[in-house]
Amino acid sequence: MRDKETIHQAAEIIKKGGIVAFPTETVYGLGADTFNPLAVARIFEVKRRPYFDPLIIHVANPVDVKKLVKEIPPNAKKLIERFWPGPLTVVLLKKEDIPDIVTAGLPTVAIRMPNHSMALALIKECKRPIAAPSANPFGYLSPTTAEHVREQLGDQVDLILDGGPCPVGVESTILSFLEEKPRLLRPGGVSLEEIESIIGKVEISPIEDRPSAPGMLPKHYAPRTPIVLDWNVKNLDRYEDKNIGLLVLQEPKNNLKFHSIEVLSANGDLREAAANLFAAIQRLDALNLDLIVAESIPEVGLGRAIMDRLRRATSKGE
C-alpha cells in the first residue's frame, strides 16, 4: 500500500519534469519523461554524462515499442516475445518525435521493458515511456541498491524509489538491429547463448571497436581504487606493505595476504556472481585500499557480461 502511494508520488514528479531513481531487475535507473527534453537534460547534468551518450527508453508493455520505432524486424520481435520483460535492450530505427537529447541525435533508439514490479508500476502510472540511464555518476559503478544511489547522487535527484537489491546485478544486454545481422553492443543480463538459441549467430563488436557515440567507452564502471585484472603475483612484491583487496568468483587459489576478499559466488554460479558484482566492488572501494585485484572468470553465460565490466573497470584508456 505504501509502495503504491510512493509510486504515485514518483509518477507525479516525472510528469512535472522531475527525475526519479527507480529499481529495475538489472541496476537502478535515473528516469525522466522521454518526451520532456528539459527533464532529460537534467539527467545528463546530474550524472555529468556527455551528451553524445544516448539513453535507454523503458516501456511497460511490448506494444508500446510500435509507437517509438519505424519498424520491428522479425528477429527483434522474436527476442522481445521471449525475453521481455527482462534484461534485453533492442536498438531500432526511431520515430522522429523522440527528442534528440534522448538518442544523442542518432537515427536509432534503445528500448527495453524491465522485469521489476516497481519499474513497471511507475511507467504505467506515468502513462509515458521513461528515459533512464543507470543512476550513477558517469563512468562510475552502476548502483544495485537504493543506498548506492543515495551515496552517489544523494539529493540531486527528486526521489529515490527503494526496491531492495537488483536481482540480476549487471545491465541489460544491448542488441542492434540496424544491419542485416543483429549485433551485440553490450553483453548483459541475457546471455549470448540464450539469444543465439533463438535467432542464430549474432555479430559481436570487439571492445575497442564499438560505436564511438554510445557509452561503451573502454574506461567505464570504474571504482576510485585502482583495479587490475589477473595481476601477476610477482608484481605484488612492491605492494608488500600495502592494503590489497581481492575479487574472485570462488575461493582464492593463492594464499597471499589480502586485506579483504570478496567471493562473488561460493558455488561458482555466474548468475549469482553477476548479482553480487557491483556491490562487491563498492564494498572493496569503500575500504580505501591501495589496489583491488580481480581474477578472471569463465566467459560463458553471464560470465561474458561480468568480464566486460571488469575489463572496463580496469582499463587504462578513457
Peptide bond into 223 cis (omega under 30): no
* Least separation in angstroms between CB 173 and ligand TXA: 8
Question: What is the number of residues in the chain?
Answer: 318
Interaction of residue 131 with ligand TXA, rule CB under 6 A: no
Cβ pair 42, 19 in contact under 8 A: yes
Q: Rounded to an integer, what distance in angstroms lies between the CA atom of residue 174 and that of residue 189?
A: 9
| Nearer CB in complex with ligand TXA: 170/289 | 170
| Nearer CB in complex with ligand TXA: 188/303 | 188
Q: Which does 91 bind (CB under 5 to 8 A by kind): ligand TXA, Mg ion, none?
A: ligand TXA
Cell numbers standing for residue 48: 555529468
Peptide bond into 85 cis (omega under 30): yes
Q: Which does 31 bind (CB under 5 to 8 A by kind): ligand TXA, Mg ion, none?
A: none
Give the sign of the dihedral formed by CA 126, CA 129, CA 135, CA 137. negative
Range 58-117, binding ligand TXA (CB under 6 A): 87, 89, 91, 103, 106, 108-110, 114
| Number of alpha carbons in the 13 Å side-chain half-sphere of residue 95 | 15
Binding window for ligand TXA (CB under 6 A); candidates: 169-177, 194-202, 285-293, 300-308: 169-177
Which of 36, 103, 134, 144 is in the footprint of Mg ion by CB under 5 A?
Answer: 134
| Nearer CB in complex with Mg ion: 52/67 | 52
Site string for Mg ion, 166-205 (x = CB under 5 A): ----------------------------------------
- Displacement of CA 161 from its chain's centroid (Å): 17
Cell numbers standing for residue 13: 514528479
